[in-house]
Amino acid sequence: QVQLAESGGGSVQAGEFLRLSCVASELTSDTNVMGWFRQTSGTEREFVSAITWSTGATYYPPSVQGRFTISRDTAKNTLYLQMNSLRPDDTGVYYCAARRRVSGRLTQGEFDYWGQGTQVTVSS
């Protein structure tokens, strides 16, 4: 069973940046695709970014395209999310996620493994 552990959250001002990290206990076929989601109170987890580990192909929704960059370091079993030009509506708990299926929708229900989350707060 893959275990994921996020770090790097914090409180920043609008326009600043943060980098999140997610360490996977192991890289297996269960981590073919890894990604980031965020959640605010009372809402479903929102897709933020994903990467196909073997090819490096990346995916972003329009809300973060051009501001966020997902990357991975295979030697460190680590996934990153560089978040620039942060805005107050980026506030939320950010979760790292992984799944075996390479294709398919990038929604909460399509991912099998989750970390505990790290809080990101952006104030204006």
17-70: pLDDT as tens digits: 999 999 999 999 999 999 999 999 888 999 999 999 999 999 999 999 999 999
Of 65, 69, 59, the C-alpha closest to 105 is: 59
Q: How confident is the model at residue 81 (pLDDT cuts 50, 70, 90)?
A: very high
Residue 41: what pLDDT? Answer: 84
- Residue 88 is classified by DSSP as G
Beta strand 78-83 with 68-73: parallel, antiparallel or unpaired? Answer: antiparallel
